[in-house]
Amino acid sequence: MEFLHKHLKLFLVLAAIVALLVFASSSGPGAIAEKDFVGKWTSSRSATPIYLYANGEWEIKADGGAAMQYGVWQIKGQQIIWSDIQRGNLEHDPDPVVYVKPNEFQVIEQDGSHTTFTRIEPENPN
């Protein structure tokens, strides 16, 4: 009985370690990746689509396809950093990412408000 009791404790400790490792490697806060953001999106701030490309570029396009605004984006830690030229200066806008789902993500803007992006379609490979 003592042998079973000792091994049961060992089994429970090993099971707890495995559970912690699985939980830590799941899609938690550290699991966001740039590939999760690539595609065509609409946001709660604007109906005009924003395109996030795998090469790190982004653009907001008018209905006719002309770029209205463009720049580069990247993921650093738990933030998406939007960069573009405004008034002749390179500006960076780091926004903390609240969550990422396959067809939606949300960020906190500099003013503290939340913007939700909803996927319209994945990136066009052409």
Mark whether 102 and 65 lie in a shared domain: yes
pTM passes above 0.75: no
Asked if the structure places residue 126 within a domain, the reply is no
Mark whether 48 and 18 lie in a shared domain: no
Mark whether 7 and 50 lie in a shared domain: no
* 8 A C-beta contact, residue 83 and residue 92: yes
Q: What pLDDT score was predicted for residue 122?
A: 67
Q: Would the pLDDT of 26 be above 90?
A: no
Mean pLDDT of 19-26: 33
What does the DSSP 8-state code read for residue 13? H
Q: Which two tokens stand for residue 40?
A: 């065509």
Q: Would the pLDDT of 84 be above 50?
A: yes
Mark whether 16 and 44 lie in a shared domain: no
Could you tell me the residue range of the domain that residue 23 belongs to?
Answer: 1-30
Half-sphere exposure of 43 (CA within 13 A, CB side): 17
Mark whether 16 and 38 lie in a shared domain: no
